[in-house]
Amino acid sequence: MSEHMKLPQCDREQEVVDALRSGRWATVWGEEIRQHAAICAVCAEVAFAAQEFQREVELARAELQQPGAGLPSAGLVWWKAQRAARRAAEQRAAEPMVLVERAAYALGALATLGLGVWQWPRLAGWLHRAQSPAALPHFAAMPDYSSSSVWLHRLAQAWPGQTPAFLLAASAAAFLTLMVFAAYVVWRED
């Protein structure tokens, strides 16, 4: 935009505003200024804006005259402003903690993944031993199983045709799905 650019103006703008404020606009005495506004784009815009402002003022007055309506006390306005400022300050103060919490979740997931990759040979050997066909009958017939394998024993009874390795993999997949969902819920709330 140029420095010398001028907004369109009309010498009768104030006359339009005065006619609207005084109520003369809608009477016979406002006919001449209404005709001018009909052909002058600047005054037509001024008239439109002034009428909208008047409409808003009338709506506000009507709203204030309703039972129970009124301007709130200065103390209430101040208290609400203080509360809003305090809430905004708390959110700004919590931002670094939220960032650290998210980083901790990400690092925890990476550490779990790293541990899985690091111990994969041991896990693969254990899974390979658990896939042997004789493992399921021996496992299912075991009368004195440990408390940590109760869930695996019950799964083996529910799905008699599956190996413990499959049951373990299905349980791990369900657990990981649950963890991903929980992480999504936590991150979505922020």
- The number of distinct structural domains making up the chain is 2
Q: Has residue 178 been placed in a domain?
A: yes
Residue 151's pLDDT is 57
Q: Has residue 7 been placed in a domain?
A: no
Residues 99 and 61 in one domain: no
Residue 7's pLDDT is 64
Please answer whether residues 47 and 16 qualify as being in contact, where contact means their C-beta atoms are separated by less than 8 angstroms: yes
**pLDDT average per 10 residues of sequence, the chain (190 residues):** 65 90 86 90 90 87 75 84 92 86 83 78 73 52 52 60 67 78 71
Residues 164 and 120 in one domain: yes
Residue 84's pLDDT is 92
Task: Tell me the residue range of the domain where 58 lies.
Answer: 13-65
Euclidean distance between CA atoms 42 and 152, whole angstroms: 83
Residue 86's pLDDT is 93
From the number of C-beta atoms within 10 Å of its C-beta (0-12, 13-18, 19+), residue 164 rates as buried
Residue 1's pLDDT is 47
Residues 106 and 178 in one domain: yes
Residue 159's pLDDT is 59
